[in-house]
Structure 1
């Protein structure tokens, strides 16, 4: 196989885009005083916020039990070994807590703290701003296509990981 120019290599481009987006998001989080929220937390927070929102919409009564650590890792696309350290850091930053599952003491659930709930709107606004900055020179139709293609790549890659 001949050498490939980096700008023609999907792996290189996806990696560079990810690094650039992460760097810009980190900068905006720091500028807004939310430096306790790291870009690495975003995937987990999005799933927890979605779970919290669903609970509110469904009218949960009593204490929220959170999401099982293993399930949250699968949703966020992270290995169990990565989840442990990530949740440790998120706990240290006051965004989540671990709790025993009331139905099975062997299971650990992850719950948002009040701080984790309160920061939701602001973090989503920052992410929206970053997205608008990134796509400022790109027509909306191409932005939609890019999002659709990235979803398909993620599904394809996830399916290949299973084998």
Structure 2
């Protein structure tokens, strides 16, 4: 870029004339000094920050979770539900009915978030709410006939999917489950009341 300016005169608006050779030298010096500054900053940053292998493992867990979520999202889109709604279906179908607290604990989401999810499912005719006959202050949630139809479609989709852990041998999968449960339990203990740990079930 600078060679094309060599030998040319550059006229500034204030009448001062600069020769390109002189200008080029200063531009090149500025660029070199800038590169030195960036290199120095990069060196100082890399020396100050040491990569923690725990960070690498955590990032891998988050990326794996996101990839699995995207697969489920794509599959369930065919029947008009989300992975979160699939979790609600599972919780209700396992016991026949569920409470907001049950679903909150299963999905590890805040109660107001779960309530919004439940309201949308109710509006779509997938579930219905009613007061618990033994505790009128508690609301239980059950599947409607339409909800059960969608649930069976969901199970069929899930059964035909390639499972993320199918790349593992049986002993590897069992070991992974134990390790993930250990990580989850420790995280829930640290979160405590913010999410709800094992004691809050």
Classify the TM-score, shorter chain: 0.7 to 0.9
| 1:152 matches 2:152 | no
The answer (yes or no) to whether the contact 2:91–2:98 under 8 Å persists in 1 is no
Partner of 1:15: 62
How far 1:6 moved relative to its partner? 8.9
Q: Tell me, yes or no, if the aligned pair for 2:84 and 2:107 is still in contact at 8 Å.
A: no
Tell me: CA distance 1:6–1:44, structure 2 relative to 1, closer, same or farther (3 Å). Answer: farther
State the partner residue of 2:143: 112
**RCO comparison, higher one (Cα < 8 Å, 6+):** 1
Aligned counterparts of 1:135 and 1:72: Cα–Cα separation in 2: 24
Residues 145 and 129 (structure 1 numbering): CA distance in 2 closer, same or farther, change over 3 Å? farther
Q: Which residue of the partner structure matches residue 36 of structure 2?
A: none
Count of residue correspondences: 146
Deviation at 1:11, TM superposition (A): 2.4
1:93 pairs, out of 124, 129, 134, with: 124
Q: Which runs of 5+ in 2 are unaligned?
A: 1-47, 194-201
1:89 Cα deviation after fit: 2.1
Query: Could you list the runs of 5+ residues in structure 1 that have no partner in the other structure?
Result: 53-65
Per the alignment, residue 143 of structure 1 pairs with: 173
Sort the Cα spacing of 1:77 and 1:125 in 2 relative to 1 into closer, same or farther, 3 A. Answer: same
Which has the larger Rg? 2
1:110 is paired with a residue whose SS is strand
Q: CA deviation at 1:25?
A: 0.9
Q: Contact 1:47/1:76 (CA < 8 Å) preserved in 2?
A: no
Partners of 1:149 and 1:95 in 2: how far apart?
Answer: 35
For residue 44 of structure 1, the aligned residue among 88, 94, 110 is 88
Partner Cα separation in structure 2 for residue 95 and residue 157 of structure 1: 33
Q: Which moved more, 1:113-122 or 1:78-87?
A: 113-122
Aligned residues: CA RMSD: 2.7
